């Protein structure tokens, strides 16, 4: 600090001394003429440019305190070159405001004549006024290929920068008109040069034939244009093969296309890869070639060049085979001429017939392996009956175990027999009026059907079991006058161990259950007559004990059966 206190604290004033620069340096501010601060309207914040180290030299950060950063050649320029006549506030920031003279004086190219815009920064930089660059992409016409190295004047002739037509032909019309290979004008080529040419090289043009609706493929690709566009005719509107290949069509003899009336749609058989080696998709005719047909020469079927066949039936070609076949004789047997029912295109021989699919008589069991002649011995195939007996009547008549004829069996063989084997046969007795159960299921037929009687056999038990009924002594069924409805006590599981449902008197419940009585004779004292029974055999009441208890009971008597009359349920209360 080299300044005396009184320099700032004048009149001995120390308290409340202002701290801003201008309070002390107003004279310096007002007296400065380079630049004139008052005239320029500089702010009185002296510290913006000055420092306390020295009033001079001053520094001003143009980038911080203005909206116009100094770059490139602007950095070293004296303030007065831009702030002419001491004008600082409101100084314009556009380039042309300072460089309009440069703009007007420029002749390469002449900016004024070309109508260039005055925003100089589009081409120039602050680094140097010369060596300007222009981004042609901003014009809507990007420069590519050979265009990038051209001088502006090569396109902008006579300083014409007002070009609005960006089409190639606007510059290259003469090239279009002078071209003879091919002659663009004569061929009526469109003037959209970019369809074939590029900016890299005007020559070596390429044309995308796919855009014409006729893509080039196969052998068409390497052809010279003139091979199809004869005499410079590029206005071809017919893309059909025959428009170029009619001579090939007319001259072909194997087969003769004209005679055969082949369609002129060459692509159905030929390809662009090779005219020879044509292939035809026979399936497109409605008659697909399969099996042995695929290897046949066309003339094998299309005899004498007849390609107008409209009959796809096998017999149309194979009627001779049909008529000459003897094993079996097709014509005699009345076989249909739909050969594909049995034959395939793989091989004519080894035919197979699906008896299940094509008849109402499916082959099963032993029938499957039989030769056709085993059934169709007469050579008759149509109208044969399908009943078993039509073939097996001899078996029916010759059977003796049992004798089918004598027994009067029906001739519906499939009731007992199957196609797997004629023997052993089985009969479903359940389908008749007498289903077999228990021991009956294993009983030989002859045990019931004595003397081959299969027609008048009764179905009641007694008819077969009369001997068992009359021979039974415990109890004696005959003497006891038991009913002959054997099933009341017996079952088919076992004849012995019969049970009787004693429904009229409850001997299976209460005090009369089986633990009290042992045999029927305990109550039924007369084995020859089960209508006779006695209650007092077990209930040994003395009359002297019973009579007093029944005084006043009407009809009471002390007899062997009278108890049951009053006690039918066996209970004491009657």
pLDDT digits (tens, 9 = 90+) for 67-104: 899 999 999 898 989 998 888 888 999 999 999 999 99
Q: Is the pLDDT of residue 319 over 80?
A: yes
Q: Is the pLDDT of residue 17 over 90?
A: no
Helix (H) or strand (E) holding 375: helix 372-375
Q: Is the pLDDT of residue 510 over 80?
A: no
Q: Contacts for 394-397 with beta carbons within 8 Å, 24 or more apart? A: 395/422
- Tens-digit pLDDT profile for residues 426-435: 888 988 889 9
Residue 94's CB is within 10 A of a number of other CB atoms, namely 12
The two three-digit tokens of residue 167, written as one number: 């089409």
- Tens-digit pLDDT profile for residues 128-158: 988 888 999 988 899 999 999 999 989 999 8
**How confident is the prediction for the chain on average, in pLDDT?**
88
pLDDT for the residue numbered 92: 92
Q: How far apart are CA 86 and CA 39, in angstroms?
A: 7
Residue 490's CB is within 10 A of a number of other CB atoms, namely 19
pLDDT for the residue numbered 482: 87
CA–chain centroid gap for 184, Å, is: 53
pLDDT for the residue numbered 574: 54
Which residues have CB under 8 Å from 433's CB, separation 6+? Answer: 459
Nearest Cα to Cα of residue 291 among 249, 235, 340, 225: 340
Which residues have CB under 8 Å from 229's CB, separation 6+? Answer: 182, 187, 236
- Averaged pLDDT for residues 465-469: 94
DSSP 253: B
pLDDT for the residue numbered 543: 80
DSSP 302: S
Which residues have CB under 8 Å from 395's CB, separation 6+? Answer: 413, 422
Where does residue 120 rank: exposed (0-12), middle (13-18), buried (19+ CB within 10 A)?
A: buried
pTM over 0.75: no
Q: DSSP for 218-234?
A: GGGTTS-HHHHSGGG--
CB–CB of 485/432 below 8 Å? no
Place 460 in a pLDDT band, splitting at 50, 70 and 90: very high
Helices (H), 242-359: 242-251, 257-260, 298-301, 315-324, 330-333, 355-358
What's the length of the chain?
574
Place 466 in a pLDDT band, splitting at 50, 70 and 90: very high
The two three-digit tokens of residue 428, written as one number: 């479903």
Cα–Cα distances in Å, from 429 out to 433, 439, 459? 8, 14, 12
DSSP 569: T
pLDDT for the residue numbered 248: 94
The two three-digit tokens of residue 427, written as one number: 């009969």
**Boundaries of every domain in the chain:** 19-86, 96-159, 288-375, 395-452
Q: How far apart are CA 563 and CA 537, in angstroms?
A: 11
CB–CB of 292/345 below 8 Å? yes
Where does residue 48 rank: exposed (0-12), middle (13-18), buried (19+ CB within 10 A)?
A: middle
Q: How many helices (H) and strands (E) does the chain have?
A: 24, 0
Which residues have CB under 8 Å from 392's CB, separation 6+? Answer: 413, 422
Which residues have CB under 8 Å from 242's CB, separation 6+? Answer: 249, 264, 265, 266
Place 1 in a pLDDT band, splitting at 50, 70 and 90: low
DSSP 216: -
């Amino acid at each position: 600090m080299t300044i005396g206190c009184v320099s700032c604290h004048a009149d001995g004033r120390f308290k409340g001394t202002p701290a801003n620069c201008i309070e002390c340096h107003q004279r310096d501010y007002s007296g400065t003429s380079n630049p004139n601060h008052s005239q320029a309207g500089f702010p009185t914040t002296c510290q913006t440019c000055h420092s306390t180290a020295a009033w001079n030299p001053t520094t001003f950060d143009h980038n911080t305190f203005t909206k116009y950063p100094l770059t490139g050649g602007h950095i070293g320029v004296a303030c007065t070159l831009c702030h002419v006549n001491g004008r600082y506030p409101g100084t314009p920031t556009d380039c042309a405001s300072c460089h309009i003279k440069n703009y007007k004086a420029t002749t390469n190219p002449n900016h004024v004549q070309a109508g260039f815009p005055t925003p100089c920064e589009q081409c120039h930089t602050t680094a140097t006024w010369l060596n300007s660059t222009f981004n042609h992409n901003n014009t809507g016409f990007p420069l590519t290929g050979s265009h990038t190295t051209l001088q502006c004047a090569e396109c902008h002739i006579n300083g014409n920068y007002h070009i609005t037509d960006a089409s190639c032909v606007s510059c290259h019309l003469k090239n279009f008109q002078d071209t003879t290979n091919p002659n663009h004008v004569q061929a009526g080529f469109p003037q959209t040069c970019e369809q074939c040419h590029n900016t890299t090289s005007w020559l070596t043009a390429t044309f995308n034939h796919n855009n014409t609706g006729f893509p080039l493929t196969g052998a068409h690709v390497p052809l010279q244009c003139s091979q199809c566009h004869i005499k410079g005719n590029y206005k071809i509107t017919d893309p059909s093969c025959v428009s170029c290949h009619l001579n090939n069509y007319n001259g072909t003899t194997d087969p003769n296309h004209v005679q055969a009336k082949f369609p002129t749609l060459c692509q159905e058989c030929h390809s662009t890869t090779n005219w020879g080696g044509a292939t035809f998709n026979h399936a497109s005719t409605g008659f697909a070639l399969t099996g042995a047909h695929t290897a046949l020469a066309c003339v094998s079927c299309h005899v004498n060049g007849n390609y107008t066949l409209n009959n796809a039936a096998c017999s149309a070609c194979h009627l001779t085979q049909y008529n000459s076949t003897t094993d079996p004789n097709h014509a005699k047997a009345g076989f249909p001429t739909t050969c594909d029912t049995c034959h395939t295109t793989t091989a004519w021989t080894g035919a197979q017939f699906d008896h299940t699919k094509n008849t109402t008589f499916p082959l099963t069991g032993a029938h499957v392996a039989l030769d056709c002649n085993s059934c169709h011995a007469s050579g008759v195939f149509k109208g044969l009956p399908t009943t078993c007996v039509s073939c097996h009547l001899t078996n029916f008549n010759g059977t003796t175990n049992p004798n089918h004829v004598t027994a009067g069996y029906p001739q519906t063989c499939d009731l007992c027999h199957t196609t797997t084997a004629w023997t052993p046969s089985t009969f479903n007795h359940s389908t008749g009026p007498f289903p077999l159960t228990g021991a009956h299921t294993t009983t030989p037929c002859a045990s019931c059907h004595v003397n081959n009687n299969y027609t008048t056999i009764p179905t009641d038990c007694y008819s077969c079991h009369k001997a068992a009924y009359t021979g039974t002594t415990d109890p004696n069924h005959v003497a006891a006058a038991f009913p002959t409805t054997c099933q009341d006590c017996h079952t088919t599981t076992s004849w012995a161990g019969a049970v009787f449902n004693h429904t009229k008197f409850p001997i299976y419940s209460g005090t009369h259950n089986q633990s009290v009585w042992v045999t029927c004779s305990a109550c039924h004292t007369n084995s020859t007559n089960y209508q006779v029974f006695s209650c007092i055999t077990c209930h040994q009441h003395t009359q002297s004990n019973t009579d007093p208890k029944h005084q006043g009971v009407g009809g009471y008597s002390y007899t062997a059966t009278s108890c049951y009359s009053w006690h039918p349920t066996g209970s004491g209360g009657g």
